[in-house]
Amino acid sequence: MVINTPFSKSNAGVLITILLISCLLVLPLLAAVGCDLNDPDRDVKRLFPESTGYKTIYVSVAQKGGEAMLRRIEERLGDKFQGLYETADVPYTMYQIFKGRDLIGYIHGVNQKGTYGGIQVFLAVDLEGLIRGFYFQKLTSQFGKQLRDEAFGRQFTGLNLRDFFNYDVASGTVKGEGKLTAIKNPAPQAEADFRAALRATKKNLILIDEFLLGNKYLQ
């Protein structure tokens, strides 16, 4: 094969551009791995309007308690940890929220497998572990509008980990009565994503309890 091509900036520029586009399409994917707030300054203020600042801490199961802790979390969840976002060395980003010098609450997000892609569920909780804010930072669904509606998130306000004790993540059912039975799925066709949201919430509360609340809700 003889290569004797006259130099042509514009043609080469096309391919450089294609390569650049390819890289740019990849970059957002890479940057989105993990579960940090997209815009912490804005999101913290939205979830805690009275806050004056926040501190970010990074923890992992491997760091804090290793395999034993992982087994305990799985037992509390009622399900095994699976996949890329549920290994012992996954770093969890936890936001401590302050008003002046006083700690007033926490924000934490978790990844969860959804019907059409990864879901990210963020909770804002007070110092007792009561939910004061719930929202989907990432959700791909045909019924995303209904699930992302504030009315859906408001159903979680005031709940704590104790309210999830009788929720079986594997079957998606609540044993007996409890506050969880009041949570309605706004899109029955998106049952899998609704259950994923509940699993993510329970997992989130367990991790907050383990890392921040000193196992206050340990059964």
Partner 1 sequence: MVTQKINIYQVAYKNLLRKKTRSLLTILGIGLSAWVLVSLLGFNQGYEAALNKDIDNMGFQVLVTAKGCPYEAATLMLKGGTGLRYMKESVISDILKHKEVEGITPQLMAAVFDPNRGESGGINAYLGVDPATFPAMKSYLKFKQGGWFTDPNAVEAVVGYEAAELEQREVGDKLLIPEKNVELKVVGVLTRSGTADDGTIFVPLRTVQKIFEKEGLITAAGIKVNKNANMTELENKLYDLPDVQVVSMAQVKTTIMSLVTTAKVMVFSIALIAILIAMLGVINTILMSVFERFQEIGIIKSMGAMPWDVFRMIWTETVILCLLGGGLGIGFSFGLSKITDVLIRRLLPYTPTGSLVIINGSLALLTLGVVVAIGLVSGVYPAWRASRVRPLESIRSEGD
- Tokens 């110092």, residue located: 127
Which of 110, 158, 117 has its CA nearest to residue 140? Answer: 117
Residue (4 or 219) nearer to partner 1, CB: 4
Residue (85 or 165) nearer to partner 1, CB: 85
Residue (51 or 111) nearer to partner 1, CB: 111
Integer Cα distance of 124 and 37 in angstroms:
12
Instruction: Report the amino acid identity of residue 113.
Output: K
Beta bridge partners, 120, equal 111, 138
Question: Which residue in 71, 72, 138, 179 binds partner 1 (CB under 8 A)?
Answer: 138
Q: Interface with partner 1 by CB under 8 A: which range of 142-150, 160-168, 175-183, 208-216?
A: 142-150
Beta bridge partners, 58, equal 93
Burial string for 194-204 (b: 16+ CB within 10 Å, else e) reads bbbbbbbbbbb
Residues 99-128 vs partner 1: string with x where CB under 8 A? ------------x-xxxxxx----------
Q: Interface with partner 1 by CB under 8 A: which range of 13-21, 57-65, 91-99, 125-133?
A: 13-21
Does position 30 bind partner 1 by CB under 8 A?
yes
Q: 3-class SS at 168?
A: strand
- Tokens 């949201």, residue located: 197
Pairing of strands 118-125, 92-99: unpaired
Residue (129 or 202) nearer to partner 1, CB: 202
Residue (52 or 115) nearer to partner 1, CB: 115
Residues that bind partner 1 (CB under 8 A): 1-30, 32-33, 38-39, 83-85, 111, 113-118, 138-142, 144, 148
